[in-house]
């Protein structure tokens, strides 16, 4: 680092000793808070041998929990992706009454505890809830079944895709879409030929984060699922049950799957950020406004 400018006080952190101390504190916290728990999970999962690990993963209840988690993600993630794209498109490309209110509503799941969200679903779809008696008379089961798990997962992950797309689409403006429309492109043609290519990396970034949160969600799902072993337990809930039953090997074996998912998510996140996704990397790369209409014209004409 260069010497401080003469006549100006030194900045905080200019001293080499301070920098080294600060970096050391950060590395120590990372090792204690992040690396150590992951290392313990990996060690404990294989501490009794590979056969015990494989048997714990192949247990019917564990396989059912993994399958239920995957099914929940396959339903919730595409729906939230479509919602996020639609919400971002409406907020950034149109002016309408209630636009700011919609932005606030999208942020609600981030400000509410997942457990509170689960309890709210109990008061809406439970037997004593708002729609409970009508659902029961129609023999429709929402809570303590797959629909309740999906709804709770959708609630807590609803903002992820929208939050990634809205800042990017606001920065890009409306020039490209307006140019495509003026050339006679339909709404769907404009979206798939102009808008989608410009947001694809941010969209994938949001989908990856949404999928990771769905598979790892515990609070809201624990309330609406009923924790029925082998029926309504997702993988995080199954890990808790195994741990409380003193089945340490099985608990850590199942936890290793979620840890592996976290590592894969982190790698995907880094790769997508290198492609321009993520708020820190994508804003400086916007095309110049003077070139944008020409680009849109070429795309639509082709």
What span, in angstroms and rounded, lies between the C-alpha atoms of 199 and 190? 13
**Claim to verify: residue 172 and residue 41 sit in the same structural domain:** no
Residues 17 and 130 occupy one common structural domain: no
What band does 77 get if pLDDT is binned at 50, 70 and 90?
Answer: very high
- pLDDT band (50, 70, 90) for residue 276: low
Same domain, 185 and 214: yes
Summarize pLDDT for 7-29 with one digit per residue, the tens: 566 666 667 788 888 889 999 99
Each residue's pLDDT tens digit, 95-122 = 888 888 888 889 899 888 899 989 999 9
Express each pLDDT in 178-202 by its tens digit.
888 888 888 788 888 888 888 888 8
Same-domain pairing of 152 and 238: yes
DSSP 261-302: HHHHHHHHHHHHHHTT-SHHHHGGGPPPTTTHHHHHHHHHH-
- Claim to verify: residue 267 and residue 160 sit in the same structural domain: yes
Task: Indicate whether 160 and 247 sit together in one domain.
Answer: yes
20 and 105 co-located in one domain: no
Clarify whether residues 259 and 157 are in a common domain.
Answer: yes
pLDDT at 11: 66
Cα gap 155→131, rounded to integer Å = 18
| Residue 215 structural domain | 50-301
Listed residues 14, 30, 45: the one ending a domain: 45
130 and 25 housed in the same domain: no
257 and 271 both lie in a single domain: yes
The 10 Å Cβ neighbour count of residue 223 is 21
Same domain for 181 and 40, yes or no, is no
pTM: 0.79
Domain co-membership, 273 together with 146: yes
What pLDDT sits at residue 291? Answer: 38
Lowest-confidence pick of 81-85, 228-232, 275-279? 275-279
The CATH number for 260's domain is 1.10.3720.10
Q: Total domain count for the chain? A: 2
């Amino acid at each position: 680092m260069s010497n401080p400018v003469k006549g100006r006080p030194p900045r905080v952190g200019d001293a080499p000793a301070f920098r080294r101390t600060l970096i050391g504190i950060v590395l120590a916290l990372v090792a204690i808070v992040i690396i150590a728990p992951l290392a313990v999970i990996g060690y404990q999962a294989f501490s009794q041998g590979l056969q015990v690990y494989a048997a714990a993963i192949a247990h019917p209840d564990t396989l059912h929990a993994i399958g239920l988690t995957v099914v929940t993600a396959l339903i919730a993630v595409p729906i939230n992706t479509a919602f996020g794209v639609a919400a971002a498109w409406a907020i950034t490309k149109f002016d309408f009454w209630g636009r700011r209110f919609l932005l606030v509503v999208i942020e609600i799941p981030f400000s509410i505890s997942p457990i509170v969200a689960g309890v709210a679903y109990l008061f809406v779809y439970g037997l004593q809830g708002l729609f409970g008696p009508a659902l029961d008379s129609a023999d429709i089961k929402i809570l303590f079944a797959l629909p309740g798990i999906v709804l709770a997962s959708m609630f807590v992950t609803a903002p992820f895709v929208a939050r990634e797309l809205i800042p990017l689409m606001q920065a890009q403006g409306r020039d490209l879409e307006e140019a495509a429309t003026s050339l006679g492109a339909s709404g769907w043609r404009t979206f798939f030929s102009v808008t989608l290519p410009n947001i694809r990396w941010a969209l994938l970034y949001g989908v990856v984060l949404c999928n990771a949160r769905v598979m790892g969600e515990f609070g809201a799902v624990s309330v609406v699922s009923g924790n029925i072993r082998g029926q309504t337990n997702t993988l995080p809930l199954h890990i808790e049950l195994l741990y409380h039953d003193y089945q340490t090997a099985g608990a850590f074996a199942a936890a290793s799957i979620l840890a592996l998912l976290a590592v894969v998510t982190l790698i995907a996140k880094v790769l997508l950020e290198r492609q321009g996704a993520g708020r820190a990397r994508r804003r400086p790369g916007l095309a110049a406004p003077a070139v944008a209409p020409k680009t849109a014209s070429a795309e639509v004409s082709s």
